[in-house]
Amino acid sequence: MVEVILASSSTRRRIWISEILEGSGADLSFYDLRGSEPEPGHGSEVRIQVEQSCTYKAIEASKSISGEEGDNRIILVSDTLVEDPDDNLYALGKPIDRVAAASSLIRLSGRRHLVWSSTAILEIGKGALELERGWRASVFTDSSVVEFEEISDQMLDQMISTRSWSGKAGGYDLGGIAGSIAKVVRGKEVTVLGFSCDSMDVLANRLS
């Protein structure tokens, strides 16, 4: 049996991967990565920023989780960033407070924007990127376009007061309350929910 370890504390990712792997025969477990991830910012394309953050997480996972030759385990790490609709060099990360969340949502209101997810699949001896403890990684990065309706004052208050923004890139959760006023218009929903869609195809092949 293959063991899949999701090295992420994201509730949304944990729920989604649990549903996807149900019935696959894989043994799923979770691991919380220690330390803080790189802060998104300005200066390079958001696609590059999210890949760098994912690679950082992959390195940290390889340091923390022991592996050996013949290991029948797969580690997944992932990162998601929302691209500012006006600037492909600026990432809207996880808001630190209500004010930052409101600012992000107002910026996205009535507009389309790109969401980038980068996912690394770690295996012993497999993958182009050499890590620690014999782990290697294959990194996959995809984007989807999300369109928001105009966010009313009432809806904005609801999104802020319910803290649906907490821990979410761009300040919203498509699988939650934001799903009533936002939709994916290009690409796959899984990318917005936190995983590269290409990585999930590869994972499915590994488990078949």
Q: Classify domain 3-207 at the CATH class level.
A: alpha beta
pLDDT band at 134 (very low <50, low <70, confident <90, very high): very high
17-36 pLDDT tens trace: 999 999 888 999 999 998 66
Nearest to 78, CA basis, from 63, 61, 65, 95: 61
Assess contact for 76 and 60: CB atoms under 8 A. no
pLDDT in tens, 44-97: 999 999 999 999 999 999 999 988 766 889 999 999 999 999 999 999 989 999
CB atoms under 10 Å from CB of 143, counted, come to 22
In a 10 Å sphere around its CB, with 0-12 CB exposed, 13-18 middle and 19+ buried, how is residue 186 labelled?
exposed
Q: Which helix (H) or strand (E) holds 135?
A: strand 135-148
Confidence band of 39 (pLDDT split at 50, 70, 90): confident
Every domain of the chain and the residues it spans? 3-207
The CA-atom distances, in angstroms, between 48 and each of 103, 129, 195 are: 24, 16, 16
Residue range 153-163, pLDDT digits in tens: 999 999 999 99
60 Cβ contact list (under 8 Å, min separation 6): 7, 33, 34, 35
Q: What is the pTM of this model?
A: 0.93
